[in-house]
Amino acid sequence: MDIFSVITILIILSAAFAFINTKFLKLPFTIGLMIIAIAFTLGITILGKFNHYFLDEAELLIKSIDFETALLDVMLSFLLFAGALHTKLDSLRRLKAPIAVFATIGVVLSTFFVGTLMFYAFILFGHEIDYIYCLLFGALISPTDPIAVLGILKSANAPKKLEVKIVGESLFNDGVGVVVFLVIFKIAQQGIGAIDAGDIGLLFLEEVVGGIILGLVTGWMTFQIMKAIDHYETEVIITLALVMGLSMLAHKLHVSGPLAVVVAGIFIGNKSPKIAWSETTHNYVDKFWELIDVLLNAVLFVLIGLELLIISTSGEYLKFGLIAIPVALIARYLALSGPVAIFDKKLDFIPKTNLMMTWGGIRGGISIALALSLEPQMERELFLTVTYVVVVFSIIVQGLTIGPLVKKVLKNYT
């Protein structure tokens, strides 16, 4: 199936599902679309038992899409920039220390907690797997998905203090999570002797520090260019060129594209409205990126729902998926406990911050994309199913209940 046909079908499905959700279900946008997409996929599967044409065409569509490339190399940069553009630096600056710890040490600790707990869970149920592959799963499931988090927290009415922590962590921890995943992936491929502490440190510097520096430099240059003119059409195009050019440049330089885009977006979103943009330009840039955000979110969550067609529904795999849900939550809670305890009194965190950050840490498309990148000998099919179960639970159950949880917790302390 050619690329134009694939995009056309996805846009039509997204529009149809968005209408159904808006008119009838009235659920939070991303959650509603994914639920409808899953129901649609189940319907196609049932129809396929009577007529294979429907199922064959649907599977052809999904297999025509390289989900890993579509998300990590194409959609992610646009979605991160749209989110970063509206992230206020004043709020982030005050919480920079805990956010940095959550997004780095928190991800590493969670990776080892998840990997270790799942390793023993597999042994307990007679399905032994190499520890390094369990750590790979820990690495891909530990980062919270900024796309899912940003979309869901908008409708959860979470306090600003909590929202800044969760969103700030999510914007940065996916870049760190991908680096951790790549390191463990290389060890799994080549053995522990193939990489030493120096290699890990160099990779971290290249990807993380390099991405931040690249984002600052390109963000500053773009800001200077926009400051020299006052023409909203041109300035909207310049922001679009920045995201696309920055993603390509980061790939060529082997630095973290997601971190570069986030840093550039935060820089431009905080500096330009005061200095470089007129009120008209500010309005058009905001609306343009808001529309991009909504459109790509719709397509992404429809895609996540449709991915069910290629997920193994083996009873054993689903069982491990259900086990992984509490494991991932417990690991996140434990990983955040130390940093929260350290910064709690100093920064006056709201009550039960750890609990709400754990439940508000939504997993999403990034985890599925990383699971799809596993090689067959790394238990790819098993971990893909387990990841899908965790992601669906995270988006639907956690996403629908984070708002009521926040209200209940804060009500008890007012």
Dist CA 38 CA 42 (whole Å)? 6
Please state the rounded mean pLDDT for residues 196-221.
Answer: 88
For residue 375, the tally of other CB atoms under 10 A from its CB is: 12
Average model confidence (pLDDT) across the chain: 91
Residue 180 has pLDDT above 60, yes or no: yes
- What distance in Å separates the CA atoms of residue 154 and residue 160, rounded to the nearest whole number? 11
CA 24 to chain centre: 27
The matching CATH number, chosen from 1.10.1740.10, 1.20.1530.20, 3.30.43.10, 1.10.1760.20, for 67-411 is: 1.20.1530.20
User: Residues 80-137: pLDDT tens digits?
Assistant: 999 899 888 887 888 889 999 999 999 999 999 999 999 999 999 999 999 999 999 9
Give CA angle at 149 (148, 154), nearest 5°.
Answer: 110
Q: What is the pLDDT of residue 194?
A: 67
Instruction: Write out pLDDT tens, residues 323-371.
Output: 999 999 999 999 999 999 988 877 778 888 899 899 989 999 999 999 9
pLDDT at 10: 94
User: Which pLDDT does position 155 carry in this prediction?
Assistant: 66
Q: What is the mean pLDDT of residues 174-180?
A: 86
Per-residue pLDDT reduced to its tens digit, 4-60:
999 999 999 999 999 999 999 999 888 999 999 999 999 999 999 888 888 898 988
Domain ranges of the chain: 3-63, 67-411
Distance CA 243, CA 262 (A): 10
In 104-190, alpha helices (H): 105-124, 131-141, 146-153, 160-190
* Cβ count within 10 A of residue 388: 23
Mean per-residue pLDDT for 404-414?
A: 75
pLDDT band at 151 (very low <50, low <70, confident <90, very high): low
Query: Residues 405, 356: contact at Cβ < 8 Å?
Result: yes
Which pTM was predicted?
Answer: 0.93
